[in-house]
Structure 1
């Protein structure tokens, strides 16, 4: 009887993988090793370091099929959550001039640029889509001049690491939140998206500050974030300090869970529409009954009122804007007590905008903002959060 040894994927001859796939696989291995070297240098440095990568690990997925990308992940024991969400603290996609600033797009005097406008648009969209799902993904479009574009990019980085830039860099940027009517449209109506399981727990803290944990992931792989929301800051600001932690610290911090709050469970769907990055939070059981059927759409935008409305996903039935409305604050939604009798209900200082169709504003939040993708690695946090509910 003839016996033929069945080759595993790792044992298959190199030519079976194809030159393009081999190139991307080896390029990715090289990129990961170079980044690891700089990450380690930053970690051991006596000074705080901010490491900025021009491009990142997920970019290779934009240039090969999903099947071949999945094969590369399997062959090297990698997964998307580790390469995309846990490896970089922030992703910034600088939209190509070919999308929205075509008069400035040129291949002249560019030794590395040969694509025409149409191909450049296509590649730009593919590169952006590769990073959909990262928890802190900022898209900087061409709605301003180039200087404004750079200022917005710098401002996004400053906000993520908790530096207050005032109105100098992101004067018009704010978080916007919209109530979406059920039912959820069919998946086929969405552009390319990533779905995540998200679990929030509030920890015991001294009022008026809020401390919470977030577990976020897909296919059994997770990232963990510890957030301290400091209120009543100078100038009426609300400042959020977010720290990426490991699974062990997450489990330890969970012992400080605030019994006054339910755990919040969500399905989070991330996607791009009109160069605008959106997160659709679909609340799920066993959250508080007040969350049943609740869907909230969030985005960060510098667009004016009319432009923002026009940029909203047309396939979603958006009822109204609820930016700043305390009825849609996750902190309030998770309260065990009834709002009418609760002393813990958090009231936004800016009032209720629920009656205004697509109108509203929210306090500036530092530390949470989300082709040319810049991957940010912040090595300034040498230690995990102290286990007392404080950063």
Structure 2
């Protein structure tokens, strides 16, 4: 139970001091998205050959500099660079030599990234750190057993290096997949792949990042200029930055009710996660706040989400990664009108589209026990969006409030509705 005196803003006992501080922080952040001092946001730009990654870095940097952010760009430690300039030829290396060489490159990459991350933390401005590829890109080019061995020897945790190290992953799909006339190797000393080779590289690179909580795939369904704008919009949307009409992007979340999952062997490569959602008490009924715990093999990431009241008919969300300590403090502020939501989240790529399949567990409230929902972010509308053919889709429920997590978690929907209606004319403390 939460202290009602705390919610009303009255004097509280010492036990509630920490909870009151947390509520004040929620209220402060709800007033203006992006007002936090020294926000550091780390994004990885990855993708297949000729996907627009180089141009994307430049344009992303220019855009964020124009809105007052400090920019740092972490260079890519290409194996091909070392091969060309250092005389290393992988064909002449033994298996053990190649393994150690790749391992040392990754260690170098970790140190270089950490140097930039530390520099960003010391900045007095909001700071965007753009990584030209990330640590998980290397796993796409290493034998699976070697990758597991390398992680074990270096004490690298999969969740940490994929989910916790970077705030967002942007995969720029190769022109070889959907924009073939624009694919070229001209002017690139280290690029030699034909169309099919480029498609394979694109596929394995994208698969390496499946499972990251904020993974955006930018395909070739539009012209190149719009592709770059969609990439910039994806970063802005995750940060809660309102770009207004500066960028043209109509990506939105679409949600589908799944009747049956089908056989596991029909799925493409996927990652499964255990997820727990809890809603928090907020200073206003017009505001929503929740925390999420998401992980694999007892390794976790924690997220705090605040949904502000509508502005110009649009809901604004602010998401931030938090520490285990912050999660525990916020967990004490759970709204007792809501049940915890437990689900298994399966992340996978299908036809260059990133999907989340949420399978709600038996410990959930009756309204969502056994429920299966498929979600994706896309610019496509109607039947233009192709859905996985190995799933039995019942219907689209994108705008159906019955399937919102907020409503699904309510212990007594009727009572909540009565409380909400009775407070319409009251002072919500905004």
* TM-score (norm: length of structure 2): 0.74
Q: Secondary structure at the match of 1:75?
A: helix
How far is 1:231 from its partner?
2.1
**Residues 116-131 of structure 1 aligned to structure 2 (within 5 Å):** 116-131=194-209
Aligned residues: 329
Whether the 8 Å CA contact 2:226–2:248 is kept in 1: the answer is no
Say yes or no: does 1:335 pair with 2:410.
yes
Q: Tell me the residue number matched to 1:39.
A: 117
Where structure 2 has 5 or more consecutive residues not aligned to the other structure, the ranges are 1-92, 422-428
- Pick from 380, 387, 391: which aligns with 1:312? 387
Q: Secondary structure at the match of 2:358?
A: strand
- Pick from 202, 216, 232: which aligns with 2:279? 202
Alpha-carbon separation, structure 1, partners of 2:106 and 2:418: 49
Alpha-carbon separation, structure 2, partners of 1:301 and 1:170: 14
- Pick from 213, 226, 235: which aligns with 2:304? 226
Q: Which has the higher contact order (CA 8 A, sep 6+)?
A: 1
Question: Structure 1 residues 20, 186: closer, same or farther in 2, change over 3 A?
Answer: farther
Alpha-carbon separation, structure 2, partners of 1:322 and 1:35: 41
Q: Secondary structure at the match of 2:416?
A: coil
Question: Structure 1 residues 49, 76: closer, same or farther in 2, change over 3 A?
Answer: same
Q: Secondary structure at the match of 1:134?
A: coil
Alpha-carbon separation, structure 2, partners of 1:344 and 1:228: 23
Q: Secondary structure at the match of 2:345?
A: strand
Q: Deviations over 1:332-369 (max 9, x none)?
A: 000000x344327999xxxxxxxxxxxxxxxxxxxxxx
Alpha-carbon separation, structure 2, partners of 1:344 and 1:146: 51
Say yes or no: does 1:135 pair with 2:213.
yes
- Pick from 98, 101, 106: which aligns with 1:28? 106
Whether the 8 Å CA contact 2:280–2:334 is kept in 1: the answer is yes
Q: Deviations over 1:223-249 (max 9, x none)?
A: 00000011222x111011011111111
Whether the 8 Å CA contact 2:401–2:407 is kept in 1: the answer is yes
Say yes or no: does 1:155 pair with 2:233.
yes
Alpha-carbon separation, structure 2, partners of 1:128 and 1:155: 20
Alpha-carbon separation, structure 2, partners of 1:303 and 1:123: 25
Alpha-carbon separation, structure 1, partners of 2:210 and 2:420: 32
* TM-score (norm: length of structure 1): 0.81
Where structure 1 has 5 or more consecutive residues not aligned to the other structure, the ranges are 1-14, 348-389
RMSD across aligned C-alpha pairs, in angstroms?
1.8
Which one is further off, 255-264 or 283-292? 283-292
Larger helix fraction of residues: 2
Alpha-carbon separation, structure 1, partners of 2:129 and 2:178: 29
